Amino acid sequence: QQRTILNPSPWRTPDVLFERILGLTDILIVNQTEWAQLCTYFDISDDPHHAMLADKLWQKWQGKALIVTRGAEGAQVFRPHRPPLSVAGFEVVVKDTVGAGDAFIAALCAAGLGEMDLDSAENWQQIWTCVHAAGAYLVAHRGVFEVLPTRTELTKFLENIYKKTIC
C-alpha cells in the first residue's frame, strides 16, 4: 500500500498548491512551530490538549495520521477517532539539532510506515521508540547525512539506554 507523507518544513504561507498536496497526504508530520502555524491555517486555536485540536483537524483534512514532534519532549501521533499515542524524549547531550526531524522521518519510513496498519496502537508502539531514537541519536552528534544512524548504530544506542535489544 502506498502512502503519501508530508513534512511541510520549512513552513511557508499555504497556497493552492499546498492545499492540493495536503489533500493527497495520508500522514502529516510537523514540529511544534509548524503545528501552531497549521492551527492558524485551519483556523483552529492552539491549546495544550492537542487531541481536541486533532479532532477538529479531521473535520478539515481527510488524512490518516498526524505526527507532532516535540524535540526532547518526545512526539505524539494522532489518528482519526483514536486516542493519541505519545513517546517520551531521550535525554542526550545536544550537539547539533539540524536534521533531527529528517532523521525521525527517515526512520519512520524505514520502519515500514507505508505498509503498517495505522489504526493499530500496537504497530505504532513497536516502531515508536526506534523512530524517536533516530532523532535523539542525530542531535547527540555533529552533522546530518554523515551521522544518520544505521539500524546497527540505533540498536547499540538503545541497548545502552535500555540494556536490552529494542530495534
3-state secondary structure the chain: CCCCEECCCCCCCCCHHHHHHHHCCCEEEEEHHHHHHHHHHCCCCCCCCHHHHHHHHHCCCCCCEEEEECHHHCEEEECCCCCCEEECCCCCCCCCCCCHHHHHHHHHHHCCCCCCCCCCHHHHHHHHHHHHHHHHHHHCCCCCHHHCCCHHHHHHHHHHHHCCCCC
Ranges of residues in the chain with a pLDDT under 70 are: 1, 45-54, 113-116, 164-167
Q: The whole model's pTM is what?
A: 0.83
Per-residue pLDDT tens over the stretch 138-153:
999 998 889 888 888 8
Give the chain's end-to-end CA distance (angstroms, integer): 23
CA distance 154 to 44: 37
